[in-house]
Amino acid sequence: MNDDPVIAGVGMTTFGKHLDRGLKSLGGEAARAALRDAGIEPGEVQAAWVGNAAAGLVTGQESIRGQVILRSTGIGGVPVINVENACASASTAFHQAAALVRAGVHDCVLALGVEKLYHPDRARSFAAYAGAVDVEAREEILASLQRSAVESGADTAATGAGRKRSLFMDIYAAAARSYMERHGTTVEQLAAVSAKNSRHGALNERAQFRTRLSVEDVLAAPLVAEPLTRPMCSPIGDGAAAVVIMSPARAAKVGVTRPVRIRACVLRSGEDSQAEGDAATKAARAAYERAGVGPEELDVVECHDASAPAELKAYDALGLCAPGESGALVEDGATSLGGRIPVNPSGGLLRKGHPIGATGLAQLVELTEQLQGRCGPRQVEGARMGLAHNGGGALGTDVAAMCVTVLSR
């Protein structure tokens, strides 16, 4: 008998600049929408996991973020677990919530991810990202990024890391230069990722940016850090996303008509030894094994495109192509809507936006709606199997936290 937990309901705010709204407003909207979608009342939720990465720095709210946010929705008294795990905070909340349902501890729980990054003092937003590395090694990291930039002739990237822009854009830029040198990937192929995701995001009413861009538009945009132009970098943003997770028996009892099965959810941390691949590669292999599927069986993917080259690297890690062939994959249209394996039909982080503590669950909202056939003009026809790839933080040359989830109809 199948005992995989199921997603019974989803909810999400628009992503963007919400200066007039706080965590309670954003998180409450997403949570209430997920409860309505599942057809249940707040009192039926037995526990909740709330992902957030930066409220302490940006808003000053520490320690009891989830309890504060959920009280306004009528969810109280039950266990509320606050989860912080860089850009993988929301997917980590989901991982923990699904595990407790699978274990039989609960049969109806909520996972919520919420973030506010816009602030009149932009330095606070940059500080949220700067803290997702080993801060005791910060000067060493900055020196390494500067050496990389100087050695590759990247004049813009040689100054201003962490001050004029998010430190992570310099980390992604350095990784992009290395990847391009190893595999012959071109800047036009990086731009093709951003252009593709802009076409997808234009179809998503909840996306932060909905303007269509051509490859030429992306290349002509202001430079952030070589080779990344502005549309190749995910924006800061505010927003929230939530899912209700149930046991199959509970879902059947309350009349959930289109449950989405959680086939696998694997959480890994980066490590120094990468002889068998980085954290994303290892998490993907484990997720495929646990789900009993391979990459060739996927119909749709939401991946962590915090920058355009990050999406190309994800193709490799997820086995969507042979290592180093990712540039050709996007250039050929294979990852566009209508292609062999559409990636980021939501617009991805580049266009949907990246409120870091909400991103992982936003991916799962998109996949759930895709598998239920609810995505309108961006619907992947006949989607039955989807994968989410969500990572965050940086340690050494690897991501600090990586979560890969496989869902099916």
Residues labelled catalytic = 87, 354
Rounded distance, CA 73 to CA 60, Å? 21
Q: DSSP strand E in 141-232: where?
A: 223-225, 228-229
Rg (CA), the chain: 20
Which residues on neighbouring strands pair with residue 269, listed in sequence order? Answer: 401
Nearest to 149 by CA among 169, 168, 177: 177
Coil, strand, or helix at residue 206?
coil
Q: Please answer whether residues 43 and 70 qualify as being in contact, where contact means their C-beta atoms are separated by less than 8 angstroms.
A: no
Hey, what are 373's tokens?
């056939």
CA distance 271 to 116: 30
Of 140, 156, 124, nearest to 395 (Cα)?
A: 140
CA distances from 275 to 272, 285, 409 (A): 9, 14, 35
Sequence-separated (6 or more) residues with CB below 8 Å from residue 268: 279, 282, 283, 286, 401, 402, 403
Q: Give the type of residue at 282.
A: K
Peptide bond into 227 cis (omega under 30): yes
Element holding 115 (H helix, E strand): strand 108-115
Residues with Cβ < 8 Å from 312, sequence gap 6 or more?
A: 179, 185, 189, 190, 193, 326, 327, 330
